[in-house]
Amino acid sequence: MAAQSTTVLFVHGSWHLPAHMAPLIDKTKEMGFSAVCPLLPSCDVSSSPNSDTTASDRQTAPAQGWSGLDEDVNAVQSEIQRLLAQDKNVLIAAHSYGGVPATSALLPAMTAFNRSKAGLKGGVLGFLLINGYLVAKGESVVDFLQNKLAPCAEVHVCVVTTSLPLSSLSEEDLTPLHLYNDLSESEQERHSSMLVPQPLTPFMSPIKNPGYLYVPSLYIDSTNDQTCPSETHKVMIESARKQGASIDVVEMDASHSPHLSKTEEVSKLMKGFVDRLVTQKAPLSPVRNRDPFDDT
């Protein structure tokens, strides 16, 4: 029942593409869920990237120019609105940087709780955050990281975009050490071949809407994450909880990408979370039962 009535909206991370989420998307569909994963505009550097194209081959800007956090948020928000127009229940599953546009896109009126109060069906049930970034309103990812990027990132200038700072992944030992350190060498190579550069603007843009305050979240905390260490996850989670967020945490012995290395385990956690949310007698209320429209 939960699977048949719920769509999982996946939001991929920095430098990644929807193709990186494919193993978890496939497992999600096997469980009976519907699943979608829009391409974030800030990662849209090629019309059709493929597995035999290296990251270094895609260092030029897209014809329409680089996009930022606002465009990423709009892309996620458009998918939420499309699904809610069909009265769907929605779980938003976000990986890494994807947690920023995912949580920013959720408005109070989109939650299952508030839609139920308004006599509407469907709504966003919650977030599954896979080593996802949780940043306070008015703060950027770079602010939170104290003016640093992930240890795997390099910053250079893309001359095609009038000297716009561009972030990418270093070509040497970055992939196995930071993103996919618990995958086989062949899988590391396959997934790293699809990585794309991304502008710095999404990391430097302040968060306008902390949507993680409006619905409950399940946070997968990888204890062997070499990109965003577990200690950093815990700081973000504690900060969000102090703001009033309802976040359950599951620790997993995995890299930054458990959706690739432990797909079965992640999918089971996701299904259990959805089952719990859907079988509530009423849609789960916002954090601390407060009015989600009250900004105080």
Residue 196: half-sphere exposure toward Cβ, Cα within 13 Å: 28
CA 53 centroid distance within chain: 24
Q: How many residues does the chain have?
A: 296
- The DSSP annotation for the chain comes to -HHHHEEEEEE--TT--GGGGHHHHHHHHHTT-EEE-PPPGGG---SS--TTS-GGGG-SPPTT----HHHHHHHHHHHHHHHHTTT-EEEEEEEGGGHHHHHHH--GGGBHHHHHHTT---EEEEEEEES-----BT--HHHHTTS---TTEEEEEEGGGTSEEEEEE-SSSHIIIII-TTS-HHHHHHHHTT---EESHHHHSPBS--GGGTS-EEEEEETT-SSS-HHHHHHHHHHHHHHT--EEEEEES--S-HHHHSHHHHHHHHHHHHHHHHTSSSPPPPGGG--TT---
Reading the chain (296 residues) residue by residue, the pLDDT tens digits are: 465 589 999 999 988 999 999 999 999 999 999 999 999 999 987 533 333 333 444 444 444 556 889 999 999 999 999 999 999 999 999 999 999 999 999 999 999 999 999 999 999 999 999 999 999 999 999 888 875 555 444 443 333 333 344 444 444 445 566 789 899 989 988 998 888 888 888 888 999 999 999 999 999 999 999 888 999 999 999 999 999 999 999 999 999 999 999 999 999 999 999 999 988 744 554 554 343 334 43
pLDDT of residue 5: 82
pLDDT of residue 3: 56
pLDDT of residue 193: 86
Q: Nearest CA to 209 among 97, 101, 71, 72?
A: 101
pTM, two decimal places: 0.84
Can you tell me the distance from the alpha carbon of 68 to that of 193, in angstroms, rounded to the nearest whole number? 23
Can you tell me the distance from the alpha carbon of 154 to that of 149, in angstroms, rounded to the nearest whole number? 8
Can you tell me the distance from the alpha carbon of 3 to that of 143, in angstroms, rounded to the nearest whole number? 38
| CB atoms inside a 10 Å sphere around CB 282 | 9
- The DSSP annotation for 205-268 comes to SPBS--GGGTS-EEEEEETT-SSS-HHHHHHHHHHHHHHT--EEEEEES--S-HHHHSHHHHHH
pLDDT of residue 151: 47
pLDDT of residue 226: 87
pLDDT of residue 279: 82
pLDDT of residue 49: 36
Q: Are 140 and 204 in contact (CB under 8 A)?
A: yes
Q: Are 224 and 255 in contact (CB under 8 A)?
A: yes
